[in-house]
């Protein structure tokens, strides 16, 4: 069957067709659609098919650990996240490379070079190398569909997790994908042959780690023989090109037969040393590395070929050091002239994203700004979500925004240093993702902070996914030890402005840890809910 699928959707369909038993994920651009596709598939699941667990996890670490649990029980599990989610789950991810996998375990990391929707650029291939496990990097949507299935099979064959690394343009680009017809069958429950493999006491872990290190040559052999890695000798083999993942597409977009370069396509790591040796034997004197993300392969190549061979790429300036590849920069790196075109039009001004008109976050910032104008040198620490846009005009309400959960703990650190007022502002989903432990720290030291939880009852920025703590935010705060009198709830609407301001004033003036929950449903999900209600 042929389908028009996003790269994310091709991965989801491939995982379903591979007999997936559970997907574990926290939403994050550009990875969100993998889990959403599986959820939609489950809602329409044909009768008789085994269910796939697909409820959102509280964060990437809980997701990774649950997936390890499912793998331990012999079933196939998928973990999906954006690149920065890898940082959150890293403890579990690294441990998983030492325990190994029983049921197939595949981790999909969706990197966002050029930071379209992120706070940094990271290349998750580093993490696969760090953990010494194989990494798959498909070059197109069809390969993504095929490779995710192979990843589950390989994970079970070698008893290790597999990392699949994709980037924005793969995740969010549609192409025709041909899918298999056969009925997926899930694994039955079973325990690992050696259950001690999952007990990482130092004595056991040392043995496991030695096994993982000893398996490395086998992983290289697998990469040499992978159907997704290929080497083609050119008519002028002095010039060679290594193209990885979607870098290969930009190469082929521009490549002309008469260039005669030898071409090594890499979609499975570790680097296929056998194919590289052949490229060197064929007389390569200069190798251009075309890779999306950071110069991971370019650096590695220096250790994989004789030092007389020149390695070119992002580090040498032949390709840009930062940001996404484009057909244009690869064209120039190949020595071709740019296509004739017009200059960019300088009349055009930037149009940054903004909070929706009528959004509750707006009322929170409007009231907060008015109250803080009454104090000397207030500091407001923001977090990750739609409300990060409060840093931009018209509100310009935030003094810092780092990563998930940092609003609470940075506000605490600033208060510890003597800052007052020290305000943290965080969304409900981000709060349950990474804010709760920070709030416990605040309570334990009676930190003089006001934490505003702008609760829109959803994970808004990524399109309105379920939020882990909906309906229980007050209970969670009080359970963590925030005093009942200092857990305040307001409804962020213009008509309530005076009341909200009064609550904020009172809590800023209280010398201790306060939480102000500003609760009103996200307009986007509200629209969807009203539409669905009308239909019924």
Stretch that binds another protein, among 2-10, 439-447, 451-459, 483-491 (CB under 8 A): 2-10
**Least distance from another protein to the Cβ atom of residue 461, Å:** 7
For position 320 contacting another protein by CB under 8 A, the verdict is: no
How far is 119 from 83, CA to CA, in rounded Å? 10
Antiparallel, parallel or unpaired: β 230-232 and 262-266: antiparallel
Reference 466, options 410, 420, 525; nearest CA is: 525
Q: By C-beta, is 383 or 474 nearer to another protein?
A: 383
Reference 67, options 87, 96, 38, 90; nearest CA is: 96
Angle at alpha carbon of residue 441, lines to 485 and 480, rounded to 5°: 45
**106 three-class SS:** strand
Stretch that binds another protein, among 64-72, 322-330, 398-406, 407-415 (CB under 8 A): 322-330
How far is 7 from 278, CA to CA, in rounded Å? 32
For position 354 contacting another protein by CB under 8 A, the verdict is: yes
For position 116 contacting another protein by CB under 8 A, the verdict is: yes
For position 341 contacting another protein by CB under 8 A, the verdict is: yes
Site for another protein, residues 172 to 191, rule: CB under 8 A: 172-176
Q: By C-beta, is 438 or 460 nearer to another protein?
A: 460
**Least distance from another protein to the Cβ atom of residue 27, Å:** 10
DSSP-assigned letter for residue 491: -
For position 243 contacting another protein by CB under 8 A, the verdict is: no
**Least distance from another protein to the Cβ atom of residue 280, Å:** 27
Q: Are 155 and 161 in contact (CB under 8 A)?
A: yes
Residues paired with 422 in a beta bridge: 379
For position 386 contacting another protein by CB under 8 A, the verdict is: yes
DSSP-assigned letter for residue 459: B
Q: What is the DSSP string of 304-339?
A: HS-TTSEEESTTTTSS-SSS---HHHHHHHTTPPPP
Q: Which of 159, 165, 331, 519 binds another protein (CB under 8 A)?
A: 331
Which burial class, exposed, middle or buried, applies to 391 when counting CB atoms under 10 A from its CB (0-12, 13-18, 19+)?
Answer: middle
**Least distance from another protein to the Cβ atom of residue 331, Å:** 7
For position 531 contacting another protein by CB under 8 A, the verdict is: no
For position 328 contacting another protein by CB under 8 A, the verdict is: yes
Q: By C-beta, is 79 or 386 nearer to another protein?
A: 386
Contact footprint for another protein (CB under 8 A): 2, 4, 6, 29-30, 32-33, 116-117, 169-170, 172-176, 246, 248-253, 326-328, 331, 338-345, 347-356, 386, 389, 393, 461-463
């Amino acid at each position: 069957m042929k389908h028009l699928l996003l790269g994310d959707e091709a991965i989801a369909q491939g995982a379903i067709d591979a007999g997936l038993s559970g997907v574990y994920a926290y939403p994050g651009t550009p990875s969100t659609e993998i889990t959403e596709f599986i959820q939609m598939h489950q809602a329409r699941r044909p009768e008789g098919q085994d269910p796939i667990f697909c409820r959102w996890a509280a964060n990437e670490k809980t997701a990774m650990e649950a997936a390890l649990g499912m793998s331990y029980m012999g079933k196939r599990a998928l973990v999906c996240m954006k690149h920065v989610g890898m940082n959150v789950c890293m403890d579990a991810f690294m441990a998983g490379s030492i325990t190994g996998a029983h049921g197939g375990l595949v981790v999909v990391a969706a990197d966002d070079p050029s930071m379209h929707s992120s706070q940094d650029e990271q290349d998750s291939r580093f993490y696969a190398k760090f953990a010494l496990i194989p990494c798959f990097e498909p070059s197109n949507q069809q390969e993504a569909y095929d490779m995710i299935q192979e990843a589950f099979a390989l994970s079970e064959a070698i008893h290790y997790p597999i990392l699949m690394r994709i980037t924005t343009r793969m995740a969010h680009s549609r192409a025709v994908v041909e899918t298999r017809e056969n009925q997926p069958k899930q694994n039955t429950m079973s325990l690992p042959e050696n259950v001690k493999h999952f007990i990482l006491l130092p004595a056991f872990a040392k043995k496991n780690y030695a096994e993982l290190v000893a398996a490395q040559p086998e992983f290289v052999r697998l990469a040499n023989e992978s159907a997704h890695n290929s080497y083609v000798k050119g008519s002028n083999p002095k010039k060679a090109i290594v193209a990885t993942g979607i870098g290969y597409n930009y190469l082929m977009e521009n490549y002309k037969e008469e260039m005669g370069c030898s071409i090594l396509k890499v979609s499975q790591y570790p680097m296929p040393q056998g194919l590289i040796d052949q490229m060197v034997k064929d007389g390569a004197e200069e190798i251009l590395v075309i890779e999306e993300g950071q110069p991971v392969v370019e650096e590695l190549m220096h250790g994989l070929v004789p030092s007389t061979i020149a390695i070119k790429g992002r580090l040498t300036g032949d390709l840009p050091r930062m940001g996404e590849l484009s057909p244009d920069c690869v064209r120039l790196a190949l020595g071709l002239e740019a296509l004739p075109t017009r200059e960019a039009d300088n009349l055009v001004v930037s149009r940054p994203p903004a909070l929706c008109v009528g959004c509750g976050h707006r009322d929170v910032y409007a009231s907060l700004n008015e109250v803080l104008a009454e104090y000397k040198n207030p500091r407001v620490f923001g977090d990750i979500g739609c409300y990060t846009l409060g840093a931009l005009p018209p509100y310009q309400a935030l003094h810092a925004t780092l990563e998930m959960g940092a609003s609470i703990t940075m506000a605490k650190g600033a208060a510890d240093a003597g800052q007052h007022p020290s305000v943290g502002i965080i969304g409900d989903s981000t709060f349950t993702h990474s804010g709760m432990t920070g709030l416990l720290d605040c309570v334990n030291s009676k930190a003089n902070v006001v934490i505003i939880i702008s609760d829109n009852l959803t994970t808004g920025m990524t399109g309105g996914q379920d939020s882990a703590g909906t309906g229980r935010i007050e209970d969670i705060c009080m359970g963590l030890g925030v005093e009942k009198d200092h857990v305040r709830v307001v409804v962020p609407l213009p008509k309530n402005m005076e009341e909200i301001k009064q609550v904020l004033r009172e809590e800023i003036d209280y010398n201790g840890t306060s939480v102000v929950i500003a609760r009103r449903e996200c307009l986007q999900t509200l629209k969807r809910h009203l539409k669905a209600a009308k239909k019924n």
